[in-house]
């Protein structure tokens, strides 16, 4: 019997949502769900086919990086997830994909400029991109350092205002209060990247959305004055 049945179920649901949403081919990508009270998170095992994945295969790791339940190796990206969960206390889950359009921006080392309300419904500005990693960062604890360059770039940004980032030359990471929210952010980032790419084709010099419209849309969904959805804040 697992001591983390619900947490593993939550992580599993998030992981299998990724290929279903068209965000993932092959075994790229992974999702983790944290239980902060117990100081652990559940994450996908490394290199397992999505079609064969089962909830019980999820690996439970503590915040020091020690495996506390599961026979399989956790995702090789586990240190990045751990770094983000440690740095951003407000989040409960992390998602990593190589979704095509977002990855095209990451490869080009370009932030995704905020051009419309679809973007503003999820992000309070451009989707940021990290600096390139140094040779030393790559040579040592690569995945942990990947987390570090994300944290460095997020410096003065609220992770719930900016629920994702592009790692330079690599691909997007997203997060949220729950791992389900992190999956939603991953879908949004891919969709926003696709639209931005096409808007740039139509208007290569396109200016960003007007601040008042960004502000309006972001606040429709976030914060004390949100009025989107069914909750009664």
| Binds a copy of itself (CB under 8 A): choice among 53, 67, 110, 177 | 110
Unique residue bearing structure tokens 């399989």: 72
Instruction: Find out whether 233 and 226 touch, Cβ atoms under 8 Å.
Output: yes
| Binds a copy of itself (CB under 8 A): choice among 115, 123, 173, 218 | 115
| Binding span for a copy of itself by CB under 8 A among 39-47, 61-69, 83-91, 149-157 | 39-47
Active site residue 122: no
User: CA 126 to CA 51: how far, in whole Å?
Assistant: 34
- List the Cα angle 40/182/215 in 5-degree steps: 130
Name the token pair of 82: 């751990």
Of residues 5 through 24, those in contact with a copy of itself by CB under 8 A are none
SS3 state at 69:
strand
CB-side exposure of 156: number of CA atoms within 13 Å? 1
| Binds a copy of itself (CB under 8 A): choice among 44, 153, 170, 181 | 170
Contact track, a copy of itself, 179-218, x by CB under 8 A: -----x--xx--x--xxxxxxxxxx--x--xx-xx--x--
Per annotation, catalytic residue among 57, 62, 121, 126: 121
Of residues 56 through 85, those in contact with a copy of itself by CB under 8 A are 72-73, 76
Active site residue 158: no
Nearest to 58 by CA among 47, 71, 49, 76: 71
Please give the C-alpha separations between residue 179 and each of 94, 107, 118, 129, 168, in angstroms, as whole numbers: 6, 25, 21, 21, 23
Point out the residues that are catalytic. Answer: 121, 228
Which positions touch a copy of itself (CB under 8 A)? 25-26, 28, 45-48, 72-73, 76, 98, 100-101, 103-110, 115-118, 121, 132-133, 135, 138-139, 142, 169-171, 184, 187-188, 191, 194-203, 206, 209-210, 212-213, 216, 220, 227-230
């Amino acid at each position: 019997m697992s001591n983390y049945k619900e947490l593993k179920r939550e992580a599993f649901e998030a992981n299998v949502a990724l290929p279903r949403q068209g965000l993932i081919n092959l075994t790229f990508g992974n999702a983790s769900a944290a239980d902060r009270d117990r100081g652990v998170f559940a994450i996908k095992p490394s290199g397992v086919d999505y079609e064969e994945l089962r909830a019980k295969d999820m690996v439970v790791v503590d915040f020091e990086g020690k495996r506390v339940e599961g026979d399989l190796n956790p995702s090789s990206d586990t240190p990045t997830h751990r770094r983000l969960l440690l740095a951003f206390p407000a989040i409960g889950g992390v998602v990593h994909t190589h979704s095509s359009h977002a990855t095209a921006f990451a490869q080009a080392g370009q932030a995704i400029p905020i051009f419309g309300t679809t973007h503003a419904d999820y992000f309070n500005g451009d989707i940021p991109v990290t600096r390139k990693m140094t040779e030393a960062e790559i040579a040592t604890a690569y995945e942990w350092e990947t987390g570090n360059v994300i944290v460095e770039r997020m410096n003065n940004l609220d992770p719930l205002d900016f629920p994702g980032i592009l790692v330079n030359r690599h691909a997007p990471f997203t997060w949220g209060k729950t791992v389900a929210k992190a999956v939603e952010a991953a879908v949004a980032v891919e969709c926003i990247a696709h639209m931005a790419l096409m808007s740039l084709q139509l208007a290569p010099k396109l200016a960003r959305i007007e601040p008042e419209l960004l502000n309006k849309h972001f606040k429709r969904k976030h914060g004390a004055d949100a009025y989107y959805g069914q909750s009664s804040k």
